[in-house]
Amino acid sequence: MSTTSRSLADDIRGRSDRELIDLVLARPDLARPAPADLSSLAARASTKASAQRAIEALDRGHLQVLEALVVAGDPAPLPEVLQLLGTDDEATVEAHVADLWTAALLWRGADGTHVVRTVPDVLGTLVGLGPPFPERRPGATAPAGDSLRAAIAAAPAAARAILDRLTWGPAVAVLPEGGAGATAARWLLEHHLLVAASTDRVALPREVALLLREGRLHRETTLLAPELTSRPVSAQTVDDVAGGAANEMLSRIDELASAWGAEPPRVLRAGGLSVRDLKRTQERLDVPAGFAGFLVEIAYAAGLVADDGEIVPVWAPTAEVDEWSASEGGRRWASLAIAWLTTTRASHRVGTRVADAPVNALGPDVQWPAIRAIRREVLSGLAGLPPGHAADADALRARLLWRRPLRPSRLLAEAVGGVLREAEWLGVTGRGALSTPGRTLLGHHVSPGGTDTAERGAGDIASSRESLAAAMSAYLPAPIDHILLQADLTAVAPGPLVGSLAAFMRLASDVESRGGATVHRFTSGSVRRALDAGWTADDVLETLRRSSSTAVPQPLEYLVSDVARKHGVTRVGSGAAYVRSEDRGVLEALLAARELGPLALRRIAPTVLVSSADPGALADMLREHGFSPVLEGRDGGVVVAEPARRRAGSRHRTAPPALSPIDEAFTQALVSGLRVAEANADVRRAHDVARLGPTIPATDPVVSLALLRDAIADRHGVWIGVSDRYGATTRHLVHPRRVEAGRVYATDETGREQSYSVHRITGATLEAPST
């Protein structure tokens, strides 16, 4: 590493291969697209957008050190940085400075450490500090520290109260119009403790603020992460609870697919699921509101439900749901867990308000890319604890707030709480601790370098999915093929049922209660539902006898037989609609019932009635009043009312082009290429400088502007290519002076000032150093 650098570009060119690899790993955005050479890498690293991404990734400790370096001046002496931080932990500060240098937020010159030019612009107002005296009063000399201390000590009480309010920011206040406040403000202005920011505002100069803060930059310096407190919990209990939660999740997704397959809810005009339909789904599944939103969102993320794309669109299960339901439990859970970890949809936002509008499930406002990184950080925090230890939720929030200090604290706290709830519902955690399948999920899909499944090959994804499925299968209850029938018309399923039996029980019974065992209740309505689907009474009873470990109770046999006896006695067909029955007493009862008056029934034959009502509506109304009709087709046969199986079209997702992960091997190859490109560029510059000047490669406008701004700061010459109105490109050696209003102002080789439109600059490269 060179210590005689004049700029960030010189610093980066002087770094070793290992140091360059560490830079790219710390800032992966620099690698795509691959820079042409090290100069382009340095130019990209110094752009405001890239610097902002790097700063947003800093934790509070590194951010506080960076802020202290900016305030300390250029270059920043270490003793002054330690004083600003209010610490004597020199080793930790030096380690943080080294990390910031590795990330190219600093560069090292012969005179010390310098902050990259764009960093102060990204940081903006520093921890409530105002500008220094010279910026407020150009050309004026800042008052001496001793005189400022004396003025502060002599300040009247009212003046001192104003200073106390401004000490920790904001550093600007409205000038009082009269009274004691105006007198105090005038006194502070006269003694240079405040400066005028405008006609009606005053500002606290940075030098005064630091004196009031006793030389400290922050109220509290936290260079290291807060301790993550935890409580012990049995590791076996954690995995058992996680397995139970995963089994419950799989069961609920099955029920959701069944419910939406029969009665798919409408898609809102603006996209999403209406509040009323979400409430109906919640009641149908008998789950809390938050859990209902999570269920539909994870089903959508896993590709199990989708907008069917019809003229009147509905949310319906996709074709993949049938294959998913028939798969082994561990594989089903693995697909849900991977979808949850990698999706950018934040289900905890469902039901909240964004921009004073409600956030609907499956709507566009649920999209929040930041949630994916938050999930990984929460799980990584839990993974840092020994197995069988659950993190304290408040301590985990504090750790995440320290890890992401630039994110709004309220949003981050809500997101952490949402991730913890979802992880518990899904079985990634149990009793607040990371489960064994959860650790497998984290290990396979979040690498130390931040690589996720989007950057892995298909073989790696399939392998990790299988190992994840195996990890959860060990803790899922084994599906059982029997139930326990009871005399009170209920059946107890002591565990998850196998697919065919589960489908039958959903059809022929209603769930009464859930828990370690599920209680199903048989009613006349549920039995009729099975008969409407084409089952006979003998089929129902035979399935119950075959599936029950106990004998079929007599009351249940009576219920099935009684419903079957009445079922189909009355038949409804289309005429508009007709009702026919061999039992004339039933027809007489229909004609005599006042409640059926709206149907306008009339007799056309001893065993036939007709109505103008729709056949389906007619059958429903007769059922509501105690009759048991069946629909009859045009051929006189019974219409089997199979449960609706609405399916949305498959969501064919176009796979993105395969990208190599930005890992050690990738960065080594990239750095080797950059070394070769830089050597070739040096040879070309040395060869071309004697002719017409160096070859000017076409560069991204952002990179060109960054090179020009670096040249302004370092007073370097730059070769630029400029396209004229006819498309011809000319080359100019210039010394840039400023960039403003979309134009570059520079002096050419003759010393005359020229201006160039930024959009016409095709590329830029630094002038070769003289030998």
pLDDT in tens, 307-329: 988 888 999 999 899 889 888 88
> What confidence category does residue 655 fall into, taking pLDDT thresholds of 50, 70 and 90?
very low
140, exposed or middle or buried, with CB in 10 Å at 0-12, 13-18, 19+? exposed
pLDDT value for 493: 87
Residues 317, 304: contact at Cβ < 8 Å?
yes
- Longest CA–CA separation in the chain, Å: 117
> What confidence category does residue 292 fall into, taking pLDDT thresholds of 50, 70 and 90?
very high
Contacts of 17 (CB under 8 A, 6+ apart): 668, 671, 672, 675
Is residue 718 pLDDT above 60, yes or no? yes
Query: pLDDT tens, 240-258?
Result: 999 999 998 998 998 899 8
Residue 738: count of CB within 10 angstroms of its CB: 13
Q: Residue 756 carries which side chain, given as an amino acid letter?
A: Y
Q: Please report the sign of the dihedral spanned by the C-alpha atoms of residue 164, residue 169, residue 171, residue 173.
A: negative
CATH code of domain 694-771: 2.30.30.100
Higher pLDDT, 445 or 392: 392
pLDDT value for 67: 92
Highest mean pLDDT among 264-268, 681-685, 762-766: 264-268
Query: pLDDT tens, 529-549?
Result: 888 888 888 898 999 999 888
Query: pLDDT tens, 54-63?
Result: 999 899 999 9
For the chain, which residues make up each domain, given as ranges? 133-212, 230-473, 484-566, 577-624, 694-771
The strand pair at 629-631 and 570-573 is best described as: parallel
pTM beyond 0.85, yes or no: no
Residues 188, 159: contact at Cβ < 8 Å?
yes
> What confidence category does residue 445 fall into, taking pLDDT thresholds of 50, 70 and 90?
low
Strands (E), 634-727: 718-723
Mean pLDDT over 178-199 rounds to 84
**Lowest-pLDDT range, 52-66, 263-277, 614-628?**
614-628
**Lowest-pLDDT range, 160-169, 327-336, 412-421, 761-770?**
761-770
Contacts of 92 (CB under 8 A, 6+ apart): 61, 223, 224
Q: Please report the sign of the dihedral spanned by the C-alpha atoms of residue 4, residue 8, residue 10, residue 13.
A: positive
What 476-479 contacts at long range (C-beta under 8 Å, 24+ apart), as own/partner pairs, is 476/243, 476/246, 476/247, 476/329, 476/330, 476/333, 477/243, 477/244, 477/247, 479/329
Beta-bridged to residue 314, according to DSSP, are: 266
- Would you state the structure tokens that stand for residue 712, as one six-digit string? 């302004």
d(CA 556, CA 491): 10
Q: What is the distance, to the nearest Å, from the Cα of residue 599 to the centroid of all Cα atoms in its chain?
A: 54
d(CA 521, CA 529): 13
